[in-house]
């Protein structure tokens, strides 16, 4: 009888403590194995590949020529006087400006807002400090989710309302600026 009571007590203890099983799957926490990891929510990062190239040229030529001749003769009592006066002038000028710029950079930006039509508003900046030069590049604009590549990158040419700021400060930047006399002459319109 004791054996039966022990067996019955063991069964009751087993039934009192059922085994708890937890699933390893959490809905919404796992991306599909074949899915791309593209930005889809506010706070997600996107890599922007900046490749901008701009060229411009402008030239102007102007020429002006003018001359005025004035002559006269006066004569009386056998004395003849002649006088001649002439004015002349000319101007020829030429100006030409050529500019070529190229910017290549890669930086990560963040989705800061999702617009009602589903487009993303992005913003981000990168700062570098190398050998006494401080360089800053900032990108802001609006992108379509469909334009994001499978590797979560987007070309800068696909950014609507793009604002790309590139600025540098330091020894090289100071050396590239014109001197004070040149800047004064430019201000006065003499150059």
What is the per-residue pLDDT for 142?
Answer: 96
Write the secondary structure of 127-171 as one string of H (helix), E (strand) and C (coil).
Answer: EEEECCEEEEEEEEEEECHHHCCCCCEEEHHHCEEEEEEEEEECH
Top-confidence residue, 93 or 18: 93
pLDDT at 14 over 60: no
Q: Considering only CA atoms, which of 105, 102, 111, 104 is closest in space to residue 148?
A: 111
Top-confidence residue, 120 or 86: 120
Mind listing the pLDDT tens digit for each residue in 100-114? 778 788 999 999 999
pLDDT at 151 over 60: yes
Residue whose structure tokens are 């030069």: 133
| Nearest-angstrom CA–CA distance, 43 and 114 | 10
Mind listing the pLDDT tens digit for each residue in 67-108? 666 666 666 666 666 667 666 666 676 777 777 778 788 999
CB 44 within 8 A of CB 111: yes
pLDDT at 11 over 70: no
Q: What is the pTM of this model?
A: 0.53
Q: At 143, is the pLDDT very low, low, confident or very high (cuts 50, 70, 90)?
A: very high
Helix (H, G, I), strand (E, B) or coil at 5: helix
């Amino acid at each position: 009888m004791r054996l039966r009571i022990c067996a019955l007590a063991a069964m009751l203890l087993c039934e009192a403590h059922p085994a708890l099983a937890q699933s390893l799957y959490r809905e919404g926490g796992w991306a599909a194995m074949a899915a791309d990891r593209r930005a889809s929510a506010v706070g997600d990062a996107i890599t922007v590949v900046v490749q901008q190239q701009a060229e411009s040229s402008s030239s102007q030529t102007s020429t002006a020529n003018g001359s005025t001749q004035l002559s006269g003769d006066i004569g009386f009592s056998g004395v003849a006087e002649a006088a001649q006066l002439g004015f002349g002038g000319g101007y020829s000028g030429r100006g030409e400006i050529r500019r070529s710029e190229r910017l290549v950079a890669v930086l990560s930006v963040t989705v800061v807002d999702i617009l009602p039509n589903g487009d993303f508003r992005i913003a981000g900046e990168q700062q570098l400090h190398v050998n006494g030069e401080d360089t800053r590049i900032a990108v802001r604009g609006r992108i379509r989710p469909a334009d994001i590549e499978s590797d979560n990158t987007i070309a800068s040419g696909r950014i609507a309302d793009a604002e790309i700021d590139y600025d540098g400060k330091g020894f090289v930047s100071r050396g590239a600026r014109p001197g004070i006399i040149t800047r004064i002459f430019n201000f006065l319109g003499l150059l």
